[in-house]
Amino acid sequence: MTESHWTTTTTTQFDGERYGIGLPWKSTSIKLPCNRELSLKRFFTNERRIMKGSHTARKYEETICQYVRDGHAKKIASGDGGTMGRVWYLPRHAVWNSKRKMLRVVYDASAKQQGTSLNQCLLKGPDYLTNFCGVLLCFRQKKIPISADVERMYHQVRVKREDRSALRFLWRSSGSALLPETYEMHVHVFGGGLVAVSVCMPCDEQP
């Protein structure tokens, strides 16, 4: 992905609180196939697996509910068809970090429907991660090293409205007998090439 392609096809917006940027589509003519049934099957499989551990199930539900409270995700009305040709349901699973006592929801953007995945439709940018050897050398430059981390980095960057329907997912509360409802992410998500650092980089470069 070149800088010229990025600047001519993608715009960065600032709403006074957060930066927002669209998904880096390979082409403006991309039409995604309907993968709701595939995502629904994955949802039920994942739900059965998570319910085997009550602690994981509770933390998983807390995480999704937190998304909604923070405005990172929103429930979609049944008649909302989304952007034509750009609707995609992301399967997801939970990864538990026992050392940090933290659960992370990972979205599977590589899941295929009719031979197509969301990742295949998006450009993959260069790796902006700092080389480990470079990090070690930087620690020798000054007497006191300082390290910092941006909490939920990808969730700090909003997704343009017209691209949000490509980040849909299915969800229902634990133990519910109702059919899963459709939600839509309003921020970038963690999962494979979908959250390449290049997506967030243009926002970091703003003055």
User: Quick one: tokens of 36?
Assistant: 């709701």
Count of the separate structural domains present in the chain: 1
Whole-structure pTM value: 0.81
What's the CA gap between 202 and 199, in Å, rounded? 7
Task: Please say whether the beta carbons of 201 and 128 come within 8 A.
Answer: yes
Residue range of the domain that includes 181: 3-201
Q: Give per-residue pLDDT as tens, 170-205.
A: 999 888 889 999 999 999 887 655 555 445 555 445
> In this predicted structure, what is the pLDDT of residue 2?
47
Residue 39 lies in a domain: yes
Residue 57 lies in a domain: yes
Residue 82: which CATH number?
A: 3.10.10.10
